[in-house]
Structure 1
């Protein structure tokens, strides 16, 4: 049960953080937002570094380090670019692909055998979310060009692939070592910061100084909510649930994003609400 609660908590915290990060793309680039949030998140959890035995856990730390580079450095940068181009709901909805990919990876590479009803639930959730992705909505605040729409979906798909691969690497460590979710979160953040350091320059420092205090506080809150809390809860999911089942629950973000649609100027249709209901049905089938 704690794994389920962690998954839904991670999905909701990530959803609201994405909404805040999209607003910050007016002031900072995707790479700047990503490296800033990762450095802040790493500093918040820094005391956890003192609990590591780097020598005896070198292999596990290396795998988590790689997971942070793939999932947080590369994947989150693609994600934020997609947020800017196509908005919160559409970007989150591309995660419709991730339950199937994650379930497949778990079955093939990690020998996680799931009951037939779980596959049915994953399929229903995925199809429903794909339907949500292609629903046309009226946006009164942002005009999305065809070019931005195509590029946004491409970046979102790449970010999902990065996230699922990183999740598989994290789960392999969490199930085979004594490292806890706090420790694995900090190692992944360390990997992401290391990979993004070459992009840390004077332009970033200058840009952060120039943005309004309200935006700085918003960035700090989004980081704590989406990166620290979000990744910590996500690591609990990877430890407690099979990757396919866990990722299905983590992918309920588009349902939660509907509550933010109005704030982004979107008018959601009844078809989207119907598809959202079938998404909830799919999740329910998994736990019958």
Structure 2
């Protein structure tokens, strides 16, 4: 049950944080938002480093650093680009692919054996979320080329997220590192990576006086929700649940995003509600 409640908490945190990041993407470049939130989040959890024994967990720390760079530095930058182009709900809906991808990778790479109900439930969730994507509910008049770019960004972020989650899962079940410790290692490595590449963007955010207090407050709130809490809850999920089951639960973000859809010009129809309900049935199949 710990993994289940952690997954739902992560989903809620991500959904509201994504809405803020999308709004702020009108004022900042996606990479600027990503470096801002990761540096700030790693500072919030900095005291955690004092509890880590670097000598006894060198390999684990190295794997987590790679996981942070792939999943947070690269994946989140692609993710925020997608938020800016195609919106919160549609970006989150591309997580329709993650239950099947994660379940397959878990079975092939770390020999996690899943009963038939997990495969069936993962497929139902993936199908339901894919149908939500297919609903023509997004009212914004975007060009086909722009939408395609947003879709590519979303798919890239999904691939990075699953790969990074797989690495995290391996370390969480094979080392003594806690979810909080792995969260800070991933955040810090992602922050250093982004700072080395986008140093000018970070300095711009620090020195630019045109950035309002409201902008900073919004980014701080979204960082606490989506980065600190979101990633910590995610690590707890992968500590207690196999990656396939964990990602099936974490993929429910599009359903929770329905609550903020009208604010983004996204009109919800009856089919969208039906497929959202069907996705919960898929999760129930997995958990029963």
- What TM-score do you get using the length of structure 2 for normalisation? 0.97
Deviations 1:194-219 (A, max 9, x none): 21112343444334532221121000
RMSD value, Cα:
1.1
Give the match for residue 279 of structure 2: 279
Task: Report matched runs for 1:151-170 at 5 Å.
Answer: 151-170=149-168
Give the match for residue 265 of structure 2: 265
Helix, strand or coil at the partner of 2:209: helix
- 1:56 and 1:202 mapped to 2: Cα distance? 36
Give the match for residue 195 of structure 2: 197
Deviations 1:99-149 (A, max 9, x none): 10000011011111111111110000001111101110152xx43221121
Give the match for residue 171 of structure 1: 169
How many residues align structurally? 286
- 2:61 and 2:123 mapped to 1: Cα distance? 34
Between 231-240 and 144-153, report the one with greater CA deviation: 144-153
- State the 1:248 CA deviation: 0.3
- 2:157 and 2:106 mapped to 1: Cα distance? 19
Task: Check whether the contact 2:35–2:202 (CA below 8 A) recurs between aligned residues.
Answer: no
Give the match for residue 220 of structure 1: 220
Between 194-203 and 225-234, report the one with greater CA deviation: 194-203
Give the match for residue 136 of structure 1: 136
Deviations 1:212-260 (A, max 9, x none): 2112100000000000000000000000000000000000000001111
Between 192-201 and 242-251, report the one with greater CA deviation: 192-201
Task: Report matched runs for 1:64-83 at 5 Å.
Answer: 64-83=64-83
- What TM-score do you get using the length of structure 1 for normalisation? 0.97
Deviations 1:44-95 (A, max 9, x none): 0000011111111100000000000000000000000000000000000000
- 2:201 and 2:231 mapped to 1: Cα distance? 28
Q: 2:122 aligned with 1:122, yes or no?
A: yes
Helix, strand or coil at the partner of 1:178: coil
Gaps of 5+ in 1: none
Aligned with residue 182 of structure 1, among 161, 180, 200: 180
- 2:58 and 2:258 mapped to 1: Cα distance? 42
- 1:138 and 1:84 mapped to 2: Cα distance? 13
